[in-house]
Amino acid sequence: MVDLERRTVVDVLDDRSVESAKAWLQERPAIEVVSRDRCGLYARAAREGAAQARQVADRFHLVQNL
C-alpha cells in the first residue's frame, strides 16, 4: 500500500487477496481515495473495505490503456 500524496510505502500485505486488502482498508476508515488498477478483485476489496472512498484508475494503467 502506498500513500500517493506523500509518495511513500505505507505497508506491504502478505498476499494479494481480496480479504487482505479489504481488512487493511477497514482498519483505516479515513481513506478517501483508492487508486488501483482495473483488477476486479481490487475493486471488490475497495468497495467492501472502504465504501466511503472514491475509486480511481492509477496513473500507470490509465496511460497504458490509452
pLDDT tens sequence across 29-63:
999 999 998 888 999 999 999 999 999 988 887 88
Cell numbers representing residue 30 in the block: 479515513
Residues 54/32, Cβ–Cβ less than 8 Å:
yes
Domain ranges, residue 31: 2-65
Q: Where are the beta strands (DSSP E) in the chain?
A: 2-3, 8-9, 33-36, 54-57
Cell numbers representing residue 38 in the block: 482495473
Domain count, the chain: 1
pLDDT of residue 1: 95
Q: How many CB atoms lie within 10 A of CB 46?
A: 22
d(C-alpha 62, C-alpha 59), whole Å:
5
pTM, two decimals, is 0.83
